[in-house]
Chain A
């Protein structure tokens, strides 16, 4: 889960990293009061979980409280790359002498964390790395020891950061470990003309697997822009909305991803990813079908299950009971294979639902579901 900038700022502050004075609001009138409390001038920043805010006009410098109110009014409700701005943060401006970049990020290749640092901060680190790779230092962190002063000195030296940043590097590592983060990034980390090291902007990604021991974020759901995703999430379904016409339900993340690809290979577009997992009970199947069928874009549904541990007759039983509960209005193509497939297919045959047909192979099922969806999109050519 990504945090908002203001949440990242709070974490940094708690761990003793210097951040600018700031406050968050969703009201332009309140923005004026906050600016006044900050001394008049303020940077008004859109709080969205995406990059490119500045370019989109989501960050403005206000010279006085009236301008701050006006800026907040302009930014609130703005759409930045599909994210609607719900809150703004007003921060005290500071006089920047130099800008740096520092982060700790999970490195899947080594199975550990990397420190990434550069004396050229302020822009996207990928751009710096592409233009001048030698300006970006990448130092693996030993998981057994973490980042203490000696390691931090090494990171700062490698990147050409001033020695004053060492303390921030050590504290930032503590944020990563104590908060179970997968990424902590400060960009820019600045030295002010007064010589202070300040974290001006930050990004933190938390590990969803660690929620059970990070109670602070327990109530916060990963913000889901799509209401179908929110509905699926509430039912505990592993669902991702896509832009297509063939609804897909399957068991196992890899098999479902593969099913989407096979549907696309048949000339149709998958409408969603939905992994009902190993158990595939009637309850989960009914919940899954109801979410997929309430997507107005869906013209046909493909259920692709390979029975490994799960027996296909149990899955078929789940589908039959789900059919009675959900009452589909769009055609379903079901492919059952693996453990007890024959008995599962017989159960579906016995139910003889007019909108349900079966296919014996994954490719055949995808072809059929794609054809049904295309036929539905061009009336008069069904069949």
Chain B
């Protein structure tokens, strides 16, 4: 079943005809994603050939939905146009907007996420690698061939750490991996994904990757304590980050005493989450937890495993 994205998902690409859009649309199609169209008002009515498959270009998201029944859009448009692109998609009634674009002004991110929320559209990102349900569909830029389908759900602020953990756990496999992005304002939180994974019968264990800045991980820890019965394994990056310096991601900054990796790790551990000190150790924790599960019914075993 997976979360947010399945083989049934019909995907539009806003910005498909740009260089990044072309490159990643080709990859998404190769990974089995049902890309049903691109959106570009200046190229409406044409189609683009991807290795023998003609993908139509629509003048608007609304037109694309009308012709194809699309329920997902992946946004590659430049930062200056991202706000309008998401507002258009939300107004057209799209269910999920995956915003890959990096460098969107924060005021625009606030506007587009709140606008989408008011219209019932889920935004993932901005500035994220998107999400992948291995073997079914890939919406974004996650390399599709790292890991096979399986029973781990993963949610992460970081793209490369997602790939690293997928690689380490490739033989166990993943239900869905969601890169929520490292910007200060994002549409989908760790908590949203934890809730979805908790309800997903295909997910037995959840990996949560966080990094310095903000308090999303602390809030996720409180949520886990109250609402998550499946085992959760965590990893936090940025223990050595100095105060007041932005570490690559716009949101990765320790301000005064808030947003530190230590505080996040402690909050997660207090909620019963095993937190690895390196990606490799994190992967080992996952394998151990899954062995604990053995052949028992996931829910009961999960509760025991997580609180052991």
Contacts and interface: CB of A to CB of B under 8 A. Distances in A.
Given A111-B186, A254-B156, A257-B248, 12 more contacts: A108-B213, A111-B185, A111-B187, A112-B185, A126-B256, A143-B114, A180-B105, A209-B106, A240-B242, A254-B162, A261-B261, A273-B245
The 3 closest A-B pairs by CB, nearest first: A254-B158, A253-B248, A252-B160
A126 B257 CA distance: 11
B142 A308 contact: yes
Interface of A (DSSP majority class): mixed
A302 interface: no
Interface string B243-277: 00111111110001000010000000000000001
B262 to A, nearest CB: 11
B215 to A, nearest CB: 6
A102 interface: no
Interface in B173-206: 182, 184-187
B238 A265 contact: no
B71 interface: no
Contacts of B156: 254
A264 B240 contact: yes
Interface of A: 106, 108-109, 111-113, 126, 143-144, 177, 180, 182, 207-210, 212-213, 238, 240, 242, 250-258, 260-265, 269-270, 273, 275, 306, 308-309, 337-339, 361-363
A212 B79 contact: yes
A265 B279 CA distance: 12
Given A254-B182, A257-B212, A257-B238, A308 B279 contact: no
Contact of B248 (A242, A263, A264, A275): A275
Contact of B252 (A144, A182, A207, A257): A257
Contacts of B141: 309
A175 to B, nearest CB: 12
Given A143-B110, A209-B250, A253-B252, A306 B79 contact: no
A306 B160 contact: yes
B146 interface: yes
Contacts, number: 167
A207 B251 CA distance: 11
5 contacts: A177-B107, A254-B237, A306-B163, A308-B160, A361-B280
A196 B242 CA distance: 42
Contacts of A180: 105-107
A111 B113 contact: yes
A106 B106 contact: yes
Given A111-B114, A213-B80, A308-B163, A257 B241 contact: yes
A141 B136 CA distance: 40
Contacts of B235: 258
Nearest to A242: B242
A210 B106 contact: yes
Nearest to B256: A126
A347 B184 CA distance: 39
A21 B296 CA distance: 75
A255 B158 contact: yes
Contact of A253 (B111, B158, B167): B158
B247 to A, nearest CB: 5
B167 A255 contact: no
Contacts of A112: 110, 114, 185
A245 to B, nearest CB: 13
